[in-house]
Amino acid sequence: MTSVLIVDDERSMRDFLKILLEKEGHKVAVAESGNKALDVLNNLDVDVIVSDIRMPGMTGIELLETVKGKHPDLPVIMITAFASPDDAVLAMKNGAFDYITKPFNVDEIKSVIASATNKNQQTIKPQDLSASFPEIIGKSREMLKIFDMIQRVAPTPANVLIYGESGTGKELVAQAIHKHSKVAGQNFVPITCSAIPEDLMESELFGHVKGSFTGAISDKSGLFNEADNGTAFLDEIGELTPIIQTKLLRVLQEREIKPVGGTRTKRINVRIIAATNKVLEDEIREGRFREDLFYRLAVVPMRVPPLRERKEDVPMLVDYFLKKYSRQLAKEVQEISSYGLQVLMNYHFPGNVRELENIIERGVALAGSNIILPESLTFSGKTKPTNHDTINNEYENLFQAAASEEELFDLGIETIIDNLEKRLISHTLKKTNNSKIRAAELLQLSFRSLRYKVKKYGLS
Ligand SMILES: Nc1ncnc2c1ncn2[C@@H]1O[C@H](COP(=O)(O)OP(=O)(O)OP(=O)(O)O)[C@@H](O)[C@H]1O
Ligand SMILES: [Mg+2]
């Protein structure tokens, strides 16, 4: 029987988790604050802690830090709100075992607790290697696993197959593997298999000798020659035609190439990293991809997960792209409004990181102030924020748009507050169909002072 300590300032939440976990056969203790939790820890053997982050007094993160100081091996699972992805990142950075998001998914809670308490199962706790991969942004568990994997596979000569949806960062991962490999000083030569017509593919890969076909006006060395002793990156490998697949397989088996029209073979030593956004297993089943070639390429298969499976990376990526594009476009856009970020967090990103990058680039280009508002976000996919959300959050946007630092210092706080007040009142009047009585109620003003302000600002 495992013993779970639940820490939450909200009684209903404690009760809910207690009932749920007791049903699962766990022994459950509860605490309503971080300090109480530390008391419990002094008197009880606890196997896992489940703690809220936002609590009055000691926060969940502070509790996490204290607990990790005393019991580094005690798994702590943090509860975060879906709308505050930063909390999740912070929790993982501070050594949380994992996090669960509110509103709860009961199965998720059960499985996270099960994996935290299953002592036989080797807990995969990927190290935070993100500092070693500065050009790949992300600190989600999924990305940490990828960093871990890159670090382990890079120094070996094993061929790697990177697969994942378009725009997930496969090419970045390929470059990182080369950079961390023993042949980092040698060439990294990429080729996009889909971009080359079939009749030129063989010569692109293996070279040709002058005069071997019309247009072969001089010798060409080809990808494998250029990547000799280094790394060849075969992008969109799923697009190779059957004939080229067969030729490539032979090269991988025999480690020698013969240029088109040539008579002599040459030994080569090339590490292959291939990438595809197709499901190669399906291609194999449909007879479009050679299974033997697949096994040669996928000695180490690596999946780069879609962005929607690692939403907690979105804020970091947004930050990174904001800096990149405000520099590139010479604009002073520093942040995104919190509702803007929320909209992004609710989006499913069919185009993954590439799409997020494009959204932010456009957002920076379109932004009228130093903050990106939801209006400047454009989406390719179907899920957009509903009208209802937009209206509810227009107030928030008014606050966000109140003033840039520049405007504030230029116009002074009184003017900025007057402007904001004017816009908030005007907005509320719209909402109440110009009923001053109702607007005064909503804004918690007396009718007289509302009437005065309406007059002062020339609203009616
Ligand atoms: N984790 C990341 N951090 C920073 N930039 C990223 C990250 N992932 C992707 N990008 C950027 O997104 C764009 C797409 O990435 P990349 O070309 O590596 O994707 P891909 O998986 O190869 O896509 P495709 O299958 O369409 O070729 C690039 O501009 C890349 O720099
Ligand atoms: Mg690519």
Give CA–CA dist 157/153, Å, rounded: 8
Which residue has a Cα nearest atom 9 of ligand 1? Answer: 169
Residue type for 378, please?
T
Q: Is 51 helix (H, G, I), strand (E, B) or coil?
A: strand
- Domains in the chain (CATH in brackets) are 3-117 (3.40.50.2300), 141-303 (3.40.50.300), 313-382 (1.10.8.60), 409-456 (1.10.10)
Task: Give, as residue ranges, everything with CB less than 5 Å from ion ligand 2.
Answer: 171
**Which of 147, 165, 319, 353 best tests ligand 1's pocket when mutated (most atoms within 8 Å of CB)?**
353
Which residue has a Cα nearest atom 29 of ligand 1? Answer: 354
Task: Please give all residues whose beta carbon lies within 6 A of any atom in ligand 1, as ranges.
Answer: 136-138, 164, 166-172, 277, 353-354, 357
pLDDT in tens, the chain (460 residues): 789 999 999 998 899 899 989 988 899 999 999 999 999 999 999 999 999 999 999 999 999 999 988 888 899 999 987 656 677 777 877 888 888 877 777 777 887 888 787 654 444 566 778 889 999 999 888 899 899 989 988 998 889 999 999 999 999 999 999 999 999 999 999 999 999 988 899 999 999 999 988 888 999 999 999 999 999 999 999 999 999 999 999 998 889 999 999 999 999 999 999 999 998 988 999 999 999 899 889 888 899 999 998 988 999 999 999 999 999 999 998 889 888 888 898 888 999 999 999 999 999 998 888 888 888 888 875 545 444 444 455 676 777 677 777 778 888 888 888 888 998 999 888 888 888 888 888 888 888 889 889 998 888 7
Q: How far is CA 32 from CA 36, 78, 297, 307, in A?
A: 7, 14, 54, 35
User: Residues 32, 45: contact at Cβ < 8 Å?
Assistant: no
Q: What is the pTM of this model?
A: 0.63
| Token couple for 433 | 């169909």
CA dihedral angle for residue 115, residue 119, residue 124, residue 127, rounded to 10 degrees:
120
Give CA–CA dist 340/374, Å, rounded: 5
Tell me the CA–centroid distance for residue 167 and ligand 1, in Å.
5
Point out the ligand nearest to the CA of residue 144: 1
- Phi, psi for 276 (deg, rounded to 5): -155, 145
Give CA–CA dist 12/20, Å, rounded: 12
Point out the ligand nearest to the CA of residue 318: 1
Q: Which atom of ligand 1 is nearest to the CA of 235?
A: 27
Tell me the CA–centroid distance for residue 355 and ligand 1, in Å.
9
Which residue has a Cα nearest atom 25 of ligand 1? Answer: 166
Tell me the CA–centroid distance for residue 354 and ligand 1, in Å.
6
